[in-house]
Structure 1
Amino acid sequence: MWIEIEIGASIQGISSTLVPMDIQMEPIDHGASGFFNRSHCQFMFRYDASPEEVLVDVVEVDWRVGVRGSFHYRADSLHESWEDISEFVRCYAASHPFKFILSFQFETLYAVRDEHGLRFVGPMPEG
């Protein structure tokens, strides 16, 4: 799964959301990577100093991406991984004002945070 977050978002803000979530994390060049202890779902976030277009092709937005993140999970831990990913999305939306899109392979939309708030638009992913 991919999360694309608008310009202005920071790795520090993402880290401040992740740290209370029972994770293992380490800094990487212009980002952070790690995994959730419950599900072992891996994540990686990267900050881009040159903002890019949103790659999701099923929705039009009027903002550019400043941070892009990915979540990688195994099919046998899909349910637990989805719980961790959706908890991160909810906590991030509650504590940071930035717009974002959560999708699978930039094709299937699962969550949108925009001027109307956070909405989950797709069902839980199936393995």
Structure 2
Amino acid sequence: MYQAQNARNAYVENAVATASPARLLVMLCDRLVLDVQRGLDAQRAGQVQESHNQLIHAQEILVHLRGTLDVEAWDGGPGLASLYDWLHAQLVQANLKKDPAITEGCLSLVTDLADTWRAAALQAAATS
């Protein structure tokens, strides 16, 4: 068991260490989607602690995304910052209220966000 976990951890660490900034962003967004989906699934199953853990991790990812966003870099920067802030606040409410409807709304948005960043990364790679 420990060997498999150690191998997985080594693989993930290597993937992160060697990823381009665009790939790191996509990886974070994919994990954000996974966390919100797991949080929603746990809410629906009545697994309060698991839901809490997943939604807290999703909030941490949003804080990181917001903190590393250079809002001056492009015209859409302030709008994206507002979206990150709003999603964070919604996930806090979903967690506090144990409300799957709020979490489901967030899931839809973070899925679209991840898809958009993935498409942008692919387009940037194609033009490089």
* TM-score above 0.5, yes or no: no
Report the structure number with the largest CA radius of gyration. 2
TM-score by length of structure 2 reads 0.30
TM-score by length of structure 1 reads 0.30
**Structure with greater strand percent:** 1
